């Protein structure tokens, strides 16, 4: 009976329908973890896995066995390339003729497994002539081990099974343990751990232009499949593309998606009319709403900073030199980051901050904005640590000082908050 309880727990946490992977396989995984944890019986192990999240993760790792390779089933990637080229033309026109910086192409790969799929996307877009700033790829998986391999980006011959493609020599360098992907392609992908069942994957509704979700739905029962499809639909822009596995195309709701008639692509375009019923996970309060009081204070900080930025020029980072010059705005990465945060595009803002830190590891402004993003996500401890780095690098960083004061007040450190506010005021006076 304890085995049944463990399987029910797996269904609840990751949506696993045991029959899809074979009951005997799940039983073997449970037995292996029981032995590894020296549990005497299944009941004892069930008690352990219920209370110990790390052990639950280990059991999930035992069951989730990724099977993937670069450009697996090539047609979806070719279709992606053709659509990306059209988007790229519009992107360049928008940059040339409009007074606004257009949003890059946003792509989600879930589950991303050990990285072959999102890296294949990046290579295909690169082949199509797109640059790193033209697109953003989020890659999400539940497996810690798969994500570690993704970030190492070292692969053996098993990952190079797609025939008729000449990309291994162009994009990989030989190393002792296999072939490592070149850095400029690695930098195009942002990896993170996530659970499609329980986590909020997208920072906002209709965020992604393209979603790859291939061979995930086959592991779920019908009810869970529908919940996941509802979630994917909510994340996908109207007119956006959804790629699924060949065995999953029959589950797509034809009222909400139109099938694209390209053989072996298994792709669907989201219709303009949206009739999907949102799941409870989609209706959950956004982190920004949970921290609205902090966000309101951030708005006030930004207003002050705009006025101050008209008078000063930061000699260290040379940021926000003129808020009145539209060309300067378009060229200023931190103006873009600020605009993205204001528009609730937190994932994209975070990626731009990290790219900036790769170029300038001691950039206080990048640490400040990462702190803002962490605070809006509700990760206040992480936010305070990032803000401390910003203040260490730039002691007169009044925005970081003021937000640090807000967060100190939130955790009840009124004395610390007062001290930070005094420092913030002195910094503003020195810069005025």
Let me know: does 306 contact 335? Beta carbons within 8 Å. no
Q: Which residue has the higher pLDDT, 9 or 179?
A: 179
Question: What confidence score (pLDDT) does residue 191 get?
Answer: 94
Query: What is the arithmetic mean of pLDDT over 351-373?
Result: 89
Query: What is the arithmetic mean of pLDDT over 196-217?
Result: 89
Let me know: does 203 contact 172? Beta carbons within 8 Å. no
Please tell me the CATH code under which domain 75-281 is placed.
3.40.50.150
pLDDT digits (tens, 9 = 90+) for 280-309: 333 333 433 434 444 445 544 444 444 444
Q: How far apart are CA 125 and CA 185, in angstroms?
A: 10
Question: What confidence score (pLDDT) does residue 323 get?
Answer: 32
Query: What is the arithmetic mean of pLDDT over 141-151?
Result: 91
pLDDT digits (tens, 9 = 90+) for 317-352: 333 333 334 334 434 788 888 888 877 788 888 889
Question: Is the predicted pLDDT of residue 361 greater than 70, yes or no?
Answer: yes
The confidence band for 86, taking pLDDT boundaries of 50, 70 and 90, is low
Q: What is the DSSP string of 37-95?
A: TT-SSHHHHHHHHHH-HHHHHHHHHHH------TTSSSHHHHHHHHHHHHHHHHHHHHH
pLDDT digits (tens, 9 = 90+) for 224-251: 888 999 999 999 998 899 999 888 888 8
pLDDT digits (tens, 9 = 90+) for 110-138: 999 999 999 999 999 998 888 878 899 99
Q: Where are the domains of the chain?
A: 2-63, 75-281, 287-431
| Residues found in the chain | 432
Q: What is the DSSP string of 208-277?
A: EEEEE--SSGGGS-HHHHHHHHHHHHHHEEEEEEEE--TTTGGGS-TTTEEE---TTT-EEEE-SS--PP
**Integer CA distances (angstroms), 126 to 191, 226, 332, 333, in order:** 19, 34, 24, 22
The token duo for 285 is: 């309060």
Question: What confidence score (pLDDT) does residue 172 get?
Answer: 95
The topology (CATH level 3) of 287-431 is 1.25.40
Percent with pLDDT over 90 in the chain: 24
Burial of 11 (0-12, 13-18, 19+ CB in 10 A): middle
Q: Which residues pair with 241 in a beta bridge?
A: 210, 269
Question: What confidence score (pLDDT) does residue 129 get?
Answer: 87
- Euclidean distance between the first and final Cα of the chain, in Å? 71
Q: Where are the alpha helices (DSSP H) in 107-221?
A: 116-127, 144-152, 168-171, 183-186
pLDDT digits (tens, 9 = 90+) for 170-192: 999 999 999 999 999 999 999 99
Question: What confidence score (pLDDT) does residue 88 get?
Answer: 54
Three-class SS of residue 35? helix
Question: Is the predicted pLDDT of residue 157 greater than 50, yes or no?
Answer: yes
User: Cα dihedral sign for 168, 70, 26, 151?
Assistant: positive
């Amino acid at each position: 009976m304890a085995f049944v309880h463990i399987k029910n727990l797996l269904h609840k946490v990751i949506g696993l329908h045991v029959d899809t992977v074979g009951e005997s396989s799940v039983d073997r995984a449970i037995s292996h973890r029981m032995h590894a944890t020296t549990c005497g019986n299944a009941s004892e192990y069930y008690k352990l896995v219920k209370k110990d999240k790390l052990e639950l993760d280990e059991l999930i790792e035992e069951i989730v066995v990724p099977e993937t390779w670069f450009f697996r089933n090539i047609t979806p990637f070719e279709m992606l390339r053709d659509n990306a080229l059209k988007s790229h033309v519009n992107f360049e026109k928008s940059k040339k003729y409009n007074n606004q910086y257009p949003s890059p192409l946003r792509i989600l790969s879930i589950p991303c497994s050990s990285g072959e799929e999102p890296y294949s996307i990046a290579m295909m877009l690169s082949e199509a002539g797109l640059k790193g700033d033209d697109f953003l790829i989020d890659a999400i998986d539940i497996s810690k081990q798969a994500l570690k391999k993704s970030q190492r980006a070292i692969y053996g011959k098993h990952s190079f099974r797609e025939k008729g493609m000449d990309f291994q020599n162009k994009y990989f360098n030989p190393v002792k343990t296999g072939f490592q992907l070149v850095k400029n392609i690695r930098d195009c992908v942002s990896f993170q751990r996530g659970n499609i069942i329980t986590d909020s994957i997208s920072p906002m509704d209709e965020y992604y232009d393209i979603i790859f979700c291939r061979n995930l739905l086959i592991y779920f029962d019908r009810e869970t499949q529908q919940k996941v499809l509802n979630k994917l639909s909510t994340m996908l822009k109207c007119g956006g593309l959804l790629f699924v596995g060949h065995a999953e195309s029959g589950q797509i709701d034809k009222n909400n998606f139109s099938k694209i008639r390209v053989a072996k692509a298994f792709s669907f375009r989201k219709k303009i009319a949206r009739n999907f019923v949102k799941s409870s996970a989609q209706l959950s309060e956004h982190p920004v709403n949970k921290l609205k009081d902090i966000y309101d204070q951030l708005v006030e900080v930004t207003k002050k900073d705009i006025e101050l930025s008209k008078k000063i020029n930061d000699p260290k980072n040379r940021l926000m030199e003129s808020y009145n010059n539209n060309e300067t705005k378009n060229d200023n990465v931190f103006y873009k980051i600020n605009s993205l945060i204001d528009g609730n595009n937190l994932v994209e803002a975070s990626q731009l901050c990290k790219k900036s830190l790769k170029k300038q590891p001691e950039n206080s402004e990048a640490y400040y904005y990462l702190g803002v993003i962490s605070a809006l996500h509700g990760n206040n401890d992480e936010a305070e640590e990032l803000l401390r780095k910003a203040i260490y690098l730039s002691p007169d960083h009044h925005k970081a000082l003021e937000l640090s004061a807000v967060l100190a007040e939130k955790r009840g450190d009124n004395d610390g908050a007062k001290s930070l506010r005094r420092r913030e005021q002195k910094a503003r006076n020195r810069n005025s």
